[in-house]
Structure 1
Amino acid sequence: MKDKIGYFSRRIIECILALIDVVPSLIVTFNPLLFVMFIPVGVYAILTWPWTLLKDIPDPFHSGESLYWLTYAIILDRDNILFPTLFRWGLIDLFLLASGLAIFLISFISWMINLRKDGGLITSGAYRFSRHPQYLGIILLSLGITIRSLRPISLIAWITLLIGYLILASLEERNLFKVYGQKYEEYARQTAFLIPHLRFNFPKWLSAEKPYRYILLMLVWVILVISVVISTRNIVVALRSLAYLKMILLYNDAANLMET
């Protein structure tokens, strides 16, 4: 009887210890910050879907056409291994995908470990080189996917994701300056905002506490999106026409060869 009681007691203690170890991980996993962090990714995923709805939206810059051309794949030279084609990855997009994923995972693990310890300001690991390495990883990873997708709508989605993370990082910094004060100011002076070794001191009127930075970022987003819509349409159509012309010529050459 005593052996059974001792056995069950040990099991209960083991379960309690396991819960003590698991619960912090669950808290980290379901932390509301994670949902906020991946909002730009969700917007990116929605925008990159080739919505047939675009067939009914007129192109404001090209009369008589709809915006559905934004979903057309840009057909590139299949012999250039640096860039992708419809059937394979290129070296550039694959490198961006792999490096972005690595940066994100390394910084995310560092953040989880720090959160389980004390949740204080983290300045080690990937955070020695960038104040927002997780966002940097996601931005690079999504850029690789954007290049691979070969669609103008993907470029618009990536621009939206980029501006979204710049706004999100700025909002976080506004809170971090309030919480850590001088300590975070010193860290910000020594560490790049996003890209390692690229330190830029914002003027006071563009500080994270001021609304002007967010207004400027939204204005940049509008300008970039309009630029993509205006400039890429002719490029997309020209590249597709050139690719189709090559296919027709190859087909004709093959047909002539078979006849002879």
Structure 2
Amino acid sequence: MTHDAPAYGLWSLVILNSAVFLMFAFSFFKPQTARDWRSFGAFAAFIVALFVEMYGFPLTIYLLSGWLQTRYLGLDPLTHNAGHLWSTLLGEQGDPHFGALHIASYLLLGGGFWLLSSAWHVLYHAQRRRGLATAGPYARIRHPQYVAFVLILLGFLVQWPTLLTLLMFPVLLLMYGRLAVNEEREMASQFGAEYRRYAERTPRFLPRWSANADRPNREAR
């Protein structure tokens, strides 16, 4: 098998892509507290692990190469297109960059960054007036920034899954869940009854889209 251009070992692309996405996320999230830095640090570890395998050393492809070549005759696992594992496993034909999965990944990534930006705008103004963020995305869910990070991570998993990032994803979900609970305790201590009323009518992570979505919901979320 021959390769016209190397698909891996491109460490400059690893650094460049990691830096671009992390700076992009940082500009929207702007971590300030220790909790913010923990959540952003976990996100950064995922991004770096992703691009190391996407352009540096394809550990997942290396570990699965024997099985892939046996199951998919004629497949060259060291091409960049083969790294789009979902497309390969589902038997998609053609360039995976134009496939349905890749388009879905862009929608998840775009939605995640849009939500992150919208949530920060509301949170920034709430912090300046020392008030509670309840407008914009915060009117639908209590933790839009964590949901935004999860959408971005999902987008990358749909586009380029690796064994390491697949293992990291549930750990990050648990971490963001615990951070959200701790944040709620702090908000309840700071804002008292105002926050409790807000929490009663606003779900934690998943918005309600029914006609009575704005009515207070007494169910524990």
> In the alignment, which of 92, 95, 99 is matched to residue 78 of structure 1?
92
Q: CA deviation at 1:155?
A: 1.8
C-alpha distance in structure 1 between counterparts of 2:37 and 2:153, whole Å: 17
Return the TM-score normalized by structure 2. Answer: 0.60
In the alignment, which residue of structure 2 is the partner of 1:141?
152
Unaligned 5+ segments in structure 1 are: 1-27, 56-66, 203-260
Q: CA deviation at 1:106?
A: 0.6
Q: 1:135 to 1:29 in 2, by over 3 A?
A: closer
- 1:136-215 to 2 correspondences below 5 Å: 136-197=147-208, 201=220
- 1:109-120 to 2 correspondences below 5 Å: 109-116=121-128, 118-120=129-131
**1:97–1:145 contact (8 Å) kept in structure 2:** yes
The alignment partner of 2:96 has SS state of: coil
Q: Match for 1:78: what amino acid?
A: E
**Number of residues paired by the alignment?**
159
Q: 1:201 to 1:113 in 2, by over 3 A?
A: same
Aligned residues: percent identity? 23
Q: CA deviation at 1:69?
A: 4.4
Deviations 1:199-230 (A, max 9, x none): 7515xxxxxxxxxxxxxxxxxxxxxxxxxxxx
1:128 aligns with 2:139: yes
Q: Match for 1:95: what amino acid?
A: L
Q: CA deviation at 1:101?
A: 1.2
Deviations 1:93-145 (A, max 9, x none): 111111111111111111112222x1321111110001000111111011001
In the alignment, which residue of structure 2 is the partner of 1:32?
33
Which protein is bigger by CA-based radius of gyration?
1
C-alpha distance in structure 1 between counterparts of 2:151 and 2:30, whole Å: 23
Q: CA deviation at 1:197?
A: 1.2
Return the TM-score normalized by structure 1. Answer: 0.52
> In the alignment, which of 101, 108, 115 is matched to residue 96 of structure 1?
108
C-alpha distance in structure 1 between counterparts of 2:201 and 2:146, whole Å: 19
**2:143–2:204 contact (8 Å) kept in structure 1:** yes
Q: 1:196 to 1:173 in 2, by over 3 A?
A: same
